[in-house]
Structure 1
Amino acid sequence: MHSEQGDIKIFAGSTGVAFAKKMCKYLGAEIGKSEVIHFSDGNIFIRIQETVRDKDVYLVQPIGLDPNNELVEILFWMDAFKRASASTITAIIPYFGYAKGDKKDEPRVSIRARVCADCIEVTGADRVVTMDLHSPQVQGFFKIPTDHLYSLPILCEYVKGLDIYDDSFVVVSPDAGFAKTARKYADYLGTNVAIGDKTRTGHDENAQILELIGDVEGKNCMIVDDFTISGGTLVDIANVLKRKGAKRIIACLAHNMLREKGVKKIDESPIEMLISTDTVENPFILASKKMITVSVAPLFAEGVFRIHERVSVSPLFKHVPPKVVDSARENED
């Protein structure tokens, strides 16, 4: 779209290639030449195959389904760009998986998100762009500029085009902790909110839905959350909604981390479809007819364009330009 921006240098880590290519399509740029080698002993080797001296470079890599390798790869990329005399280095991390470790909520544990932030900074990043952090305060773990984008407008624009979206539509938060964000979804869509009362007693990815606050009888419902690993919470709240008399049920996620067992849970549940973004390249969801993926790569590309042009990124936090929404629809899977 911005063909004049041929000097934007976007590179991709091993799990960021598809996302980076969509960004490049929007920008009218070419993806940077590089290679990543994973040796049999577990070592990772990366090489930049073109000059980046005095260039503003952008590295696309989520910390997603293979978080430890993906994080280490980001660190090696940052170091390589720095040693190659890049002018500025921006880490584009669509999904920052370790954001879940944002506090010391029990004795003798690591604040993992802070460790990751420190490492990314120390190895050379000048800026970070990410999306829908599990806790927004993780931005404060970085001492460098951090742009926190939101998938909500793009996901909501998709939902508005569905036949399930009607006067009876209700947005459902799986727990009180996500209720504030669920209210933002409801405000955007002009609907009411219901809230699940969820409890979690361990680190086993299992939680229990105890009760539902709000009226869903005879209404179409959309469960919203930032991500899911097992699918258990989504299925549990969907079953509660059915018991409470809900008609049709869909779910909407910023990030889809489901693997085979989780996908099977969703496929066998009352949830008609699960809409999520492409922040994580997830091969496990491809065979499911219930999984809908909407691309947020155009939104990241618009952010990169604004950063590159030295103009404000903040308007994207509240309003997504129509051209970004249109491009996202073009990239829908």
Structure 2
Amino acid sequence: MSSEIKIFSGSSSKNFAQSICDYIGVELGKSEVITFSEGNTFVRIGETVRDKDVYLIQSIGLNPNDEFVEILFWMDAFKRASASSVTAIMPYFSYGKGDKKDEPRVSIRARVCAESIELAGADRIVAMDLHSPQIQGFFKKPVDNLIALPVLCEYIKNMDIDNYVIVSPDAGYAKQARGFSRHLGVSTVIGDKTRKAHDEKAKVLELIGDVKDKNAIIVDDFSISGGTLVELAGFLKERGAKKIFACLSHILLNSKGVEKIENSPIEKVISTDTLVNPYIQDSIKVEIVSVAPLFAEAIIRIHNRDSLSILFEKLPERVINALDLKK
């Protein structure tokens, strides 16, 4: 496999890509990204990829416009260099939030991005916890939408928590929250949340389920401002919850969001390393678990034409052993 597979990294995912290569046992491909003084991006492949299966690791995260455009240039460069196939590995796809036309005269941004990535040359896309599963339908090429749930559940099992429930911040995330509950063998509580504008402020109106004298683990796909998490944590405290934790697939907290979390009743926020977030580095309440082994296993299985189904259920033992689970 090592003589055929080629893994490269965009500028936003260098460490993540290196972790994937360490798991698989291959060298990270040589590449270069230059940003010129006027803002133009230039990419260069540093080795031959002719007739190779190429995997490009690049999250669209806290600098989404530049990171998205860079993906387009990489896809084009690999295709023009005669790669046999090119798979875009996007651990986090920021524009997944723009998945619908829910008001007049707006763009469905996720669809525009999907079409552009394919037109640039992507033969397959791998992401994690797309904001809405239907985003897969925006692509004509195969999409593997991995989930952080098995990795986060392994982390939760290693925490010293008893008598706890899983809490969904709203009805929209209830299905995923029940997945956590089934995996861990506990109950689900659902928040009734409303959001009136695009200001990232939400208000929790009610809870469906009992949290009195129980520990609570809030689960969600991402958080930017921390507002929903903090609001819900306060509401859970009012309803008699004891310790409160949060699990996120992607952590986009800004500096104000981190400050909110630090001053909130939340004991700890557990998330993954799908994107680089400098704001969380000094936080005493944020813990990161790497999903690089999960993505590496997916690449191996795609490359060997094997099924990825097991990665959505019970993690292979070698993936669990490779996880850096902190208590």
Distance 2:234 2:222 in 1: 19
SS in 2 for 1:246: coil
Which amino acid in 2 is paired with 1:118? E
Moved more, 48-57 or 305-314: 305-314
Counterpart among 278, 299, 315 of residue 310 in structure 2: 315
Please give the alpha-carbon distance, in whole angstroms, between the structure 2 residues aligned to 1:6 and 1:48: 17
CA contact (8 A) 1:34 1:46 kept: yes
RMSD: 1.1
Between the aligned partners of 1:62 and 1:256, the Cα distance in structure 2 is 13
Are 1:179 and 2:198 counterparts? no
**Is 1:103 aligned to residue 100 of structure 2?**
yes
Aligned to 2:12: 15
Normalised TM-score (structure 2): 0.98
Q: CA deviation at 1:6?
A: 4.7
Secondary structure, counterpart of 2:34 in structure 1:
strand
Matches within 5 A, 1:98-137: 98-137=95-134
Whether 1:84 and 2:81 are equivalent positions in the alignment is: yes
2:204 corresponds to: 209
Please list the CA deviations of residues 120-170 of structure 1 after superposition, one character each: whole Å capped at 9, or x if unmatched.
000000000000011001001110011111110110011111112x1x111
Contact 2:58 2:90 in 1 (8 A): yes
Residues 1:30 and 2:59 are matched in the alignment: no
The one-letter code sitting in structure 1 at the alignment partner of 2:103 is: E
CA distance in 1, matches of 2:319, 2:235: 36
Q: Aligned partner of 1:105: which letter?
A: D
Confirm or deny: 8 A CA contact 1:89 1:126 kept in the other structure.
yes
Q: SS at 1:287's partner residue?
A: coil
Kept in 2, the 8 Å contact 1:223–1:250? The answer is: yes
In structure 2, the CA distance between the partners of 1:68 and 1:214, relative to structure 1 (3 Å rule), is same
* Counterpart pick for 1:282 among 277, 280, 294: 277
Determine if the alignment matches structure 1 residue 257 to structure 2 residue 231.
no
Matched, 1:160 2:151: no
SS at match of 1:162: coil
* 1:242 match: 237
Q: Is 1:193 the equivalent of 2:194? A: no
Which secondary structure does the structure 2 equivalent of 1:324 belong to? helix
* CA displacement at 1:282 relative to structure 2: 1.0
CA–CA separation in structure 2 for the residues paired with 1:61 and 1:174: 29
SS at match of 1:108: coil
Distance 2:222 2:314 in 1: 22
Secondary structure of the equivalent of 1:15? coil
Alignment of 1:297-312 (within 5 A): 297-312=292-307
Letter in 1 for 2:240: G
Cα distance between partner residues in 1 of 2:26 and 2:244: 40
What is the identity, as a one-letter code, of the residue corresponding to 1:188?
A: H
Give the equivalent residue in structure 2 for 1:75: 72
Structure 1 consecutive aligned stretches of length 4 or more whose deviation exceeds 4 Å? none
Aligned equivalents of 1:261 and 1:291: distance in 2? 14
Q: How many residues align?
A: 327
2:136 is aligned with 1:139? yes
SS in 1 for 2:323: helix
Ranges in structure 1 where 5+ consecutive residues have no aligned partner: none
1:220 and 2:215 matched: yes
Q: CA deviation at 1:94?
A: 0.3
Identity fraction in percent: 64
| Paired residues of 1:148 and 1:317 also in contact (CA < 8 A) | no
CA offsets per residue over residues 170-196 of structure 1, 9 Å max, x none? Answer: 100111111111111011111111111
Q: Where in structure 2 are there 5+ consecutive unaligned residues?
A: none
- Tell me the CA shift for residue 24 of structure 1: 0.4
The alpha carbon displacement at 1:7 in A equals 3.2
Deviation (angstroms), 1:325: 1.6
Do the aligned residues in 2 keep the contact of 1:225 with 1:253 (CA within 8 Å)? yes
Q: Distance in 2 between matches of 1:59 and 1:69?
A: 16
Q: Is residue 6–residue 28 contact of structure 1 (8 Å, CA) maintained in 2?
A: no
**Which amino acid is 1:101 matched to?**
G
Of 127, 139, 148, which residue of structure 2 is paired with 1:151?
Answer: 148
User: TM-score, normalization: structure 1?
Assistant: 0.96
